[in-house]
Structure 1
Amino acid sequence: METYSTAKQKIEKEILRLQRQMKTLKVKQRRPIITSIVRSMQDNEITIEELTQALESTKKRGAKGVSQSKSVLPPKYRNPATGDTWTGRGRPPRWILDADAAGKERDSFLIK
């Protein structure tokens, strides 16, 4: 009968074998793509420097070509008791929900 330790060792060996197999498959899949890129670069006389510059500019812009920085919205509501604020977007904070439940108008918390 197999012990826990030997069963675990067999499984770990199988995992390592499968990971090596996956790595080999990735290399085989990428090889024709890289060949195609190199051929296109040669056909269009694109230099490594141009490619590097293009990659850097896409990193700065982000994946979709738009700025990645999110602008911070100014608060729209303020709790006069604690000074807590809320922009009016997303899930309302507890103090707004409590005020709604108490029958207070949300507009009474508007920052003017």
Structure 2
Amino acid sequence: MALLKDLLAQRAALDQQISETKDRERADAINKVKSLMSEYGLTIADLNSRPAKAAKSTTKVAAKYRNKATGETWSGRGLQPKWLKAAISGGAKLDDFHV
């Protein structure tokens, strides 16, 4: 069975190896990036710029149903609004609210 001081020494050696490997790999990555930037003529500004996103074209759908008392509207798409459900359950017809 290993002694605590032996294990701590091993850990210190591993920490040193990890640090050296991390520094070496980081330097290699930086050199690779610099090489690619040089090859393609890129600058730091090129790295920070993002291509423009295509604008989503959304159109508002015209209202098909209107609550005359409150002015609330519904396009007829999606779930029925609460005001319309309540009116229909109260005896009104959907056609009563048609615009």
> Please, what TM-score do these two structures have when normalized by structure 1?
0.43
Which structure has more relative contact order (CA 8 Å, sep 6+)? It is: 2
Instruction: Say which structure is richer in helix.
Output: 1
What TM-score comes out, normalization by structure 2 length?
0.47
Structure of greater Rg: 2
